[in-house]
Amino acid sequence: MHTLFLLRHAQTANIVSGGGTDADRPLTALGKRQAELVGERLKLRGVDRALCSSAFRARQTFEGTGLDCPVEVMPILYHGGTTIMRQRISEIEEEVGTLLVVGHAPTVPALASQLSEGADPQTVDEVGRWYPPATLTEIAVEGTWESLADEDATGLLRGIQRP
């Protein structure tokens, strides 16, 4: 069995100084603290590998966790939807037991909701509706990573932690 952690980036500034793009928005001081707190939780669990959006706020969130695991920064995770995210997860080597994916709304909450289909309907609905920055969802994947490429594949929702 594998463990998948889905993390929406921590709180960001509303604007970018110097005329940057949305992808350049940095974390706020609160966002940096949120990333540290998520990192404390994840260090207790252990993370073997991470996939991270290339947006500055996502990279800052991952760095702020202080995790010491291989990370692959992927531009496609910035704008890609759930199908793309599932595909990237499905390409992970089976030896990886625990995977962290750092991304954005609406993709991260939508995927968390899709993969939580086995949970009670009220929880699944809540996951899809209320997923603030720095929310972390833990999902047990009973099959292979590759099996998550199937749009019908689900997991067992183990927990959701909001800031």
Secondary structure, 3-state, the chain: CEEEEEEECCCECCCCCCCCCHHHCCECHHHHHHHHHHHHHHHHHCCCEEEEECCHHHHHHHHHHCCCCCEEEECHHHHCCHHHHHHHHHCCCCCCCEEEEEECCCHHHHHHHHHCCCCCHHHHHHHHHCCCCCCEEEEEECCCCHHHHCCCCCCEEEEEECC
Instruction: State in Å, rounded, how far the first CA of the chain is from the last one.
Output: 27
Q: What is the pLDDT of residue 35?
A: 98
Give the residues of the chain that fall short of pLDDT 50.
Answer: none
Any domain includes 15 = no
Total of domains in the chain: 1
* Cα separation, 99 vs 75, whole angstroms: 18
Any domain includes 135 = yes
Q: What is the pLDDT of residue 130?
A: 87
Any domain includes 141 = yes
Dihedral sign computed on CA atoms, order 157, 53, 48, 146: positive
* Cα separation, 136 vs 14, whole angstroms: 22
Any domain includes 16 = no
Q: What is the pLDDT of residue 22?
A: 86
Any domain includes 102 = yes
Q: What is the pLDDT of residue 2?
A: 97
Q: What is the pLDDT of residue 105?
A: 95
Any domain includes 71 = yes
| CATH code assigned at 74 | 3.40.50.1240
Any domain includes 89 = yes
Range of the domain at 111: 2-10+21-161
Q: Which of 81, 85, 73 is nearest to 4 (CA)?
A: 85
- pTM for this entry: 0.95
Tokens in use for 75? 């531009």
Any domain includes 127 = yes
Q: What is the pLDDT of residue 14?
A: 85
